[in-house]
Amino acid sequence: MTQHQHSHKTGESVMETGHYIDADGDHVELTAGQKFPSCPSSGQSTSWKHEH
């Protein structure tokens, strides 16, 4: 199993389809080729990690 610990920022391209969690704990499902969104709660730029 591949472990992804990279942090991704709002506006970067999603490289791997999957579930992601942001710095505030919000969960989203993203598809490869999409852009990482702003925080769903605050609307501000945030960082995302692949959820395991």
Domain boundaries, the chain: 1-52
The pLDDT of residue 1 is 41
Tell me the C-alpha distance between 44 and 4, whole Å.
24
Confidence bin at 46 (pLDDT 50/70/90): very high
Q: Could you give the percent of the chain with pLDDT greater than 70? A: 90
- Pick from 26, 1, 2: nearest CA to 10: 26
What tokens appear for 9 in the block?
């920022």
The residue behind tokens 């499902």 is 29
What integer is the mean pLDDT of 26-31? 97
Tell me the pLDDT tens digit for each residue of 1-26. Answer: 444 468 999 999 999 999 999 999 99
The pLDDT of residue 5 is 60
Q: Which amino acid is at 3?
A: Q
Sign of CA dihedral 3, 20, 14, 17: positive
Tell me the C-alpha distance between 44 and 13, whole Å.
17
